[in-house]
């Protein structure tokens, strides 16, 4: 079953985050079973209040693809830059059907 990572982050250290983003793209290009569906630092607010967080949505073909990518040694290494350069929340959610 398809699953998604939804990240809502505030960038607190641009240099650290940019380092993460550059290495993420390299890692992403080598990976299978993952798509970047959205990555928007300035989403349009349609309703309610928004606190200027970046929205990232990743799609994984199944939980095994999620684990292969997000729990890999390579991702763990670069995620230290993300944690140093952002604050926010990441969610794992199951797709429908």
8 Å CB contact between 84 and 11: no
For residue 30, give the CATH number of its domain. Answer: 3.30.70.100
Domain, as residue range, for 25: 3-44+51-94
Predicted local confidence at residue 97, as pLDDT: 74
Backbone φ, ψ for residue 55 (5° rounding): -110, 130
Using DSSP, state whether 60 is helix, strand or coil: strand
For residues 13, 17, 19, 24, the Cα torsion angle rounded to the nearest 10 degrees is 170
In this predicted model, what pLDDT tens digit does every residue of 25-58 receive, in sequence order?
999 988 988 999 999 999 999 999 999 999 999 9
Report the pLDDT averaged over residues 2-26.
Answer: 96
Domain count, the chain: 1
Predicted local confidence at residue 20, as pLDDT: 96
């Amino acid at each position: 079953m398809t699953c998604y990572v939804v990240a809502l982050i505030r960038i607190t250290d641009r240099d650290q985050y940019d380092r993460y983003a550059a290495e993420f793209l390299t890692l992403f290009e080598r990976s299978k079973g993952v798509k970047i569906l959205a990555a928007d630092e300035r989403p349009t607010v349609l309703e309610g209040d928004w606190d200027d967080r970046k929205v990232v949505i990743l799609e994984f073909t199944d939980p095994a693809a999620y684990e292969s990518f997000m729990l890999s040694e390579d991702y763990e290494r670069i995620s230290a830059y993300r944690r140093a350069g952002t604050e926010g929340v990441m969610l794992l959610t199951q797709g429908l059907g």
